[in-house]
């Protein structure tokens, strides 16, 4: 525990805007400077890239919200095999990124081949233009799309890749950072939904983006983290949460409210929760995994030494370790 003398001086919000390289406009929208480049989907083998081992294509999800699925498949799947389906939610603090930006596109390409699996990466709406729960609603749209694909599979009419390769009895929700938060909220919401003939068998939450009103030890220790410093995380929450909400809101803090979801949590599918000791969010991730276990959920908790937030996007060694862990979890369940 940190005493009051150890609480660092957090830079003002103006510095957070500078760090994130964004400007808040008078209409409440955000100008994002320096976003990573986007990549087009590649539904056919690329003759200029003989090392490519996966294909991808974009499928409209909800015309009213301008969302879509970027679907990835192995270029050469195992013969006569049905593959698990991972519905994937990218990171970015609910404010940044896309299923089409280079880092997440490349990660899904590699993961699809590595497992192997079909990866349905969801283009969800971003805050502050669309504050939470907009991203959660888009996640439910994605699950409904997958359920409809499963229903169409038996009678024809499904997407050809899904019809050929998807094992709808082995569907997983996976997300990194903000995407891990989305997985948890979606898993809870789906407890009241009938997704048959599809079956969701597991939740995969990699470095889930959670917070809270009290500062944790890792937040204070790594407050000046070069990837996601504490003042940057605070700004992301202020832009993403509903108007008037603070970090005590349950969208931010899964332990908020004294456990209103206790009975529901024990009915969640088996959950993989991963984190790294060098991430300023790691203490909250550990509290989250412990809370799930205490309330009767089945949890596989993996907290590795070193690393930092979103490390797998920067270091191939950590990326391969993540893909191995996901593959082992998918095979086990």
CA distances from 161 to 118, 119, 158, 166, 186 (A): 9, 11, 8, 7, 25
Which residue among 177, 231, 253, 308 is the active-site one?
A: 177
Q: State the DSSP code for 274.
A: E
CA distance 281 to 254: 13
SS3 251: coil
Choosing from 153, 234, 279, 283, the catalytic residue is 279
Burial of residue 133 (number of CB atoms within 10 Å: 0-12, 13-18, 19+): middle
Active site residue 277: no
Closest CA to 252 of 173, 172, 176, 182: 182
Is 279 a catalytic site residue? yes
Distance CA 62, CA 150 (A): 18
Residue 57 DSSP SS3: strand
Q: Is 54 a catalytic residue?
A: no
Exactly one of 105, 114, 249, 309 is catalytic; name it. Answer: 309
Residues annotated catalytic, as ranges? 177, 279, 309
């Amino acid at each position: 525990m940190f005493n009051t003398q150890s609480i660092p001086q957090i830079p003002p919000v103006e510095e957070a805007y500078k760090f994130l390289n964004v400007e808040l406009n008078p209409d409440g929208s955000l100008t994002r400077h320096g976003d990573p480049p986007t990549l087009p989907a590649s539904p056919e083998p690329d003759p200029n890239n003989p090392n490519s081992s996966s294909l991808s294509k974009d499928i409209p999800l909800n015309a009213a919200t301008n969302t879509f699925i970027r679907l990835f498949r192995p270029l050469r799947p195992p013969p006569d095999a049905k593959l698990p389906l991972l519905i994937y939610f990218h990171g970015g603090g609910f404010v940044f990124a896309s299923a089409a930006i280079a880092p997440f596109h490349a990660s899904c390409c590699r993961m699809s081949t590595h497992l192997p699996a079909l990866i349905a990466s969801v283009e969800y709406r971003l805050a502050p233009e669309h504050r939470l729960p907009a991203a959660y609603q888009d996640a439910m749209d994605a699950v409904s799309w997958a359920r409809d694909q499963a229903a169409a599979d038996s009678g024809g009419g499904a997407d050809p890749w899904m019809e050929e390769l998807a094992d709808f009895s082995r569907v997983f929700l996976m997300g990194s950072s903000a995407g891990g938060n989305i997985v948890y909220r979606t898993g809870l919401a789906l407890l009241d939904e009938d997704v048959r003939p599809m079956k969701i068998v597991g939740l995969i939450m990699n470095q889930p983006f959670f917070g809270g009103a009290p500062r944790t030890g890792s937040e204070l220790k790594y407050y000046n983290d070069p990837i996601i410093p504490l003042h940057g995380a605070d700004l992301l929450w202020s832009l993403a949460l509903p108007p008037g909400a603070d970090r005590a809101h349950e969208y931010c803090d899964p332990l908020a409210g004294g456990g209103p979801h206790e009975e529901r949590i024990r009915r969640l599918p088996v959950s993989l929760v991963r984190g790294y000791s060098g991430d300023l969010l790691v203490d909250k991730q550990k509290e989250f995994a412990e809370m799930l276990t205490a309330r009767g959920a089945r949890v596989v908790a993996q907290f590795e030494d070193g690393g930092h937030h979103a490390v797998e996007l920067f270091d191939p060694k950590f990326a391969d370790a993540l893909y191995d862990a996901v593959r082992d979890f998918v095979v086990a369940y």
